[in-house]
A and B are shown apart, each in its own frame.
Chain A
Amino acid sequence: MLMRISHLYVRYGSVRALHGVSLEVNEGEILSIIGANGAGKTTLLKTISGLLRPESGDIDYRGRNITGERPDRLVRMGICTVPEGRRVFPNLSVKENLELGAYTVSRRRLRQQLFDLTLHTFPKLKERLSQDAGTLSGGEQQMLAVGRALMGNPQLLLLDEPSMGLSPIITKEIFSLIRSINAEKGISVILVEQNAHIALEHSHRTYVLETGRVVMEGLSDVVKQDPAVIEAYLGCESLE
């Protein structure tokens, strides 16, 4: 097991956003976390990445307790994030954004390999290396955000709503790229999505989060057959 989260409680001031969330991430899997607006998905990812400190609960990663560890230290341990809303550095060039992603990678050879891998995965970025990231389209910015996280040589990639604001075609493209990163490089992924449909389609296992609690978990293929999930998250859309 790569990561085990147990009984995580997180609050913003007096408002509690996570009420004892427990989950496990297996080595090499894509784990999706679905839930409606305000369910606490981003809060969970921010706590894993070290931006938020939990009130109580533990996060173990590779057998080590990393609860409350600083974000930059977690990056050094291989936990890299693609934040909600992409948040590329708009007036830095695409190349500089990617180089920032490799901030913790000090070996030159490895940095070059990661750079080649990233451009191989996202060839669209290749033509835009010297362009300011702020001038990219939404889809390209999302690719840059994922590429930037890949540059950190992750073992666990945290993705917060990669589909946000993107057309279905671009979303599909990005998800299949995420799958190939996972399959080819063995990078584990925690994928947070409001778009339950696509998240269930592209993940191995899924947790359903409701108002800060895990209400269901299981293999994605099983979860997507669940009547309650179909009712609440998949609507009348048919599953392809």
Chain B
Amino acid sequence: MELLSYVLQQLINGLQLGAVYALIALGYTMVYGVLRLINFAHGDIFMFGAFTAYYLISKWDVPIYLVFPITMAVTALLGFLIEKIAYKPLRSAPKIALLITAVGVSLFLEYFLSLNSLFTPNYIGFPRPFEVTGYDLRLFTITNVQLIIFAVTALSLLLLYLLIYYTKYGRAMRALSHDREVASLMGIPVDGIISFTFIVGAALAGLGGILYGFAYPQINVFMGIMPGIKSFIAAVLGGIGIIHGAVLGGLIIGVSEVFVSAFISSTLRDGVIFFILFLVLLLKPSGIFGKWIDKV
């Protein structure tokens, strides 16, 4: 009984972390779908979201129900600008140029924003706009932060699913990820849909940044690096380019990380994620749901 409840508790904690990874992983996977690009700056967009929420809450006293839409709009704008300024001019350049640019954008954001007059290189306490309370459910405890994370993540996944599978923009995104040339022959404005994809992915990363701040209230300009890498691995694990793969991958990565630090050793928590990546690349490089991807 003791053990079962401990395991369940860790599972809840793992799902909390995994939900955030899932939100970030979606942006990686969607952008990969339309551009075949690993957007290395995506973790930094997540960081930017956490900082935006921090400023909104602690400096400008913006009410919480406005923090979500404003933060998401700000990161969406950042994602849009990154694509327009850094990636669009390279549309017909070799893939490697795009990849190197993405690394450059990531480093630029991290080091430029760590200026003392901007986000500073220091750890900053993230102000939760509410008290954390736990609800004892006998076998395990669930906190209001966790409930918020699960509810917000589930709602945004539902909306994203409807967007991708039931709107013409979603259909255009899927068409584009199969065949850009033919998509344009269908009258799809390719650049517009690519921008739209960055906007949606960056808004989700911004959302992830807010939720991460609620759960782990220490933020830092380099906070996007590890969650970014882990979410990217989550996207690969689920099958890059596949929406539900990113979600499942995120949850698996989050739970594995928490389980390893709870049952084995917390120093191994990052190592195990890379071990998972290693296994995926060895056993099924196309990921859990990846049947259609034959040229990664």
Residues of A within 8 A of B (CB): 49-51, 70-72, 75-76, 80-81, 83, 87, 89-92, 96, 99-101, 103-104, 148, 152
Task: Find out whether the CB atom of A104 lies under 8 angstroms from the CB atom of B187.
Answer: yes
A91-B289 Cα distance, complex, nearest whole Å: 14
A88 CB, nearest partner CB in chain B, Å: 8
Question: Could you say which residues of chain B place their CB within 8 Å of the CB of A49?
Answer: 185
Q: Which of B111-119, B167-175, B201-209 contacts A (4 or more CB under 8 A)?
A: B167-175
Task: Find out whether the CB atom of B182 lies under 8 angstroms from the CB atom of A87.
Answer: yes
Residue in chain B with minimal CB distance to A103: B187
Q: Which 7 A-B pairs have the closest CB atoms?
A: A75-B187, A104-B187, A71-B184, A103-B187, A81-B185, A72-B189, A87-B182
A159-B185 Cα distance, complex, nearest whole Å: 12
Q: Does B190 reach chain A (CB closer than 8 Å)?
A: yes
Task: Find out whether the CB atom of A100 lies under 8 angstroms from the CB atom of B184.
Answer: no
A96-B184 Cα distance, complex, nearest whole Å: 16
B59 CB, nearest partner CB in chain A, Å: 43
Of B178, B182, B186, the residue contacting A152 (CB under 8 A) is B186
Known: A89-B178, A89-B179, A91-B178. A72 touches B184 (CB 8 A): yes
Residue in chain B with minimal CB distance to A81: B185
Question: Could you say which residues of chain A place their CB within 8 Å of the CB of B183?
Answer: 100
Task: Find out whether the CB atom of A103 lies under 8 angstroms from the CB atom of B182.
Answer: no
Task: Find out whether the CB atom of A96 lies under 8 angstroms from the CB atom of B187.
Answer: no
Task: Find out whether the CB atom of B187 lies under 8 angstroms from the CB atom of A76.
Answer: yes
Question: Could you say which residues of chain B place their CB within 8 Å of the CB of A148?
Answer: 186
Question: Could you say which residues of chain B place their CB within 8 Å of the CB of A76?
Answer: 187
Known: A75-B187, A76-B187, A103-B187. A92 touches B174 (CB 8 A): yes
Task: Find out whether the CB atom of A75 lies under 8 angstroms from the CB atom of B185.
Answer: yes
Give 7 A-B pairs besides A71-B187, A83-B181, A96-B171 with Cβ atoms closer than 8 angstroms: A51-B181, A71-B184, A72-B187, A72-B188, A80-B185, A92-B171, A99-B171
Question: Could you say which residues of chain B place their CB within 8 Å of the CB of A50?
Answer: 184
Q: Does B130 reach chain A (CB closer than 8 Å)?
A: no
User: How many residues does chain B have at the interface if contact means C-beta atoms less than 8 Å apart?
Assistant: 18
Known: A92-B171, A96-B171. A101 touches B178 (CB 8 A): no
A51-B183 Cα distance, complex, nearest whole Å: 11
Q: Does B263 reach chain A (CB closer than 8 Å)?
A: no
Of B175, B187, B190, the residue contacting A92 (CB under 8 A) is B175
Known: A96-B171, A99-B171. A89 touches B182 (CB 8 A): yes
A91-B185 Cα distance, complex, nearest whole Å: 18
A160-B80 Cα distance, complex, nearest whole Å: 36
- Of A50, A72, A80, A87, most buried by chain B (CB within 10 Å of CB) is A72
Q: Does B135 reach chain A (CB closer than 8 Å)?
A: no
15 A-B interface contacts by CB (under 8 A): A51-B181, A71-B184, A71-B187, A72-B189, A72-B190, A83-B182, A87-B179, A89-B178, A90-B292, A92-B174, A100-B172, A103-B188, A104-B187, A148-B186, A152-B186
A159 CB, nearest partner CB in chain B, Å: 12
A139 CB, nearest partner CB in chain B, Å: 19
Question: Could you say which residues of chain A place their CB within 8 Å of the CB of B174?
Answer: 89, 92
Question: Could you say which residues of chain B place their CB within 8 Å of the CB of A75?
Answer: 185-187
Of B184, B187, B292, the residue contacting A91 (CB under 8 A) is B292
Known: A92-B175, A99-B168, A100-B171. A152 touches B181 (CB 8 A): no
Question: Could you say which residues of chain B place their CB within 8 Å of the CB of A72?
Answer: 184, 186-190
B190 CB, nearest partner CB in chain A, Å: 7
B252 CB, nearest partner CB in chain A, Å: 24
A88-B212 Cα distance, complex, nearest whole Å: 41
A76-B268 Cα distance, complex, nearest whole Å: 56
Task: Find out whether the CB atom of B178 lies under 8 angstroms from the CB atom of A71.
Answer: no
A59 CB, nearest partner CB in chain B, Å: 16
B184 CB, nearest partner CB in chain A, Å: 4
A70-B181 Cα distance, complex, nearest whole Å: 11
Question: Could you say which residues of chain B place their CB within 8 Å of the CB of A70?
Answer: 184, 189
Question: Could you say which residues of chain B place their CB within 8 Å of the CB of A87?
Answer: 179, 181-182
- Of B181, B182, B183, most buried by chain A (CB within 10 Å of CB) is B182
B241 CB, nearest partner CB in chain A, Å: 11
